[in-house]
Structure 1
Amino acid sequence: MSDPDPYFTRHVFCCENQRPPGHERGCCKDKDATRLRNYLKARVNELGVPGVRVNSAGCLDRCELGPTLVIYPEGVWYHYRTLADAEEILQQHIVAGVRVPRLMLRPGDAAPPDG
């Protein structure tokens, strides 16, 4: 038996986790994550990008690097701080299918990448 067709071709999970004030790891929610996720979701709908779902996620365990998002099925992780960063990820990765190296996260990252 084969797997059923997926509901979406790409699934974008945007961390919106909130930790208590002053938590040593920080949290994405306090770094404007909700506004950034709302922007991505609205833009995907506005552009009519087919097969893409933008969702809120709980903690993605990259708190110090946040706000973060991960795009599946590729499993590519990004750090994004501004609406311009969100738009670049949308246009490059989601629409054009190419990566945004300056915003990509890698497993060994201990601090946000420059950019």
Structure 2
Amino acid sequence: MCGHRVIPNADIHFYTGTKYAVTALTEGLRQELREAKTHIRATCISPGLVETEFAPRLYSQNAEKAASVYSNYKALEAIDVANAVVYVLSAPPHVQIGDIQMRSVEQVS
């Protein structure tokens, strides 16, 4: 979701910037592919917080802070994102899924 909004957290502003870039590059690629009439589809899957090793690596110097990232609510799991990939790949050839934005029902932003 960081490719669609900016979280007020200085620790991840550069990370957010890279995600915005990926979103823009994907849209540019999609436009080029459509212009070239390739029928190749380009999709972004934009998950919110997914319980992975990301927080422990980001806060490697602060184990308590890393643990707290996943303690506020039930985060998405890797299988949730994998299911979104399966959905995109199973769409009929004439269907372009531009972006899937997904997050836990308890995630605020």
Flag whether TM exceeds 0.5 (same fold).
no
Relative contact order, higher structure (CA 8 A, sep 6+):
2
User: Whose strand proportion is higher, 1 or 2?
Assistant: 1
TM-score, normalising length: structure 2:
0.31
TM-score, normalising length: structure 1:
0.30
Q: Report which of the two structures shows the higher radius of gyration computed on alpha carbons.
A: 2
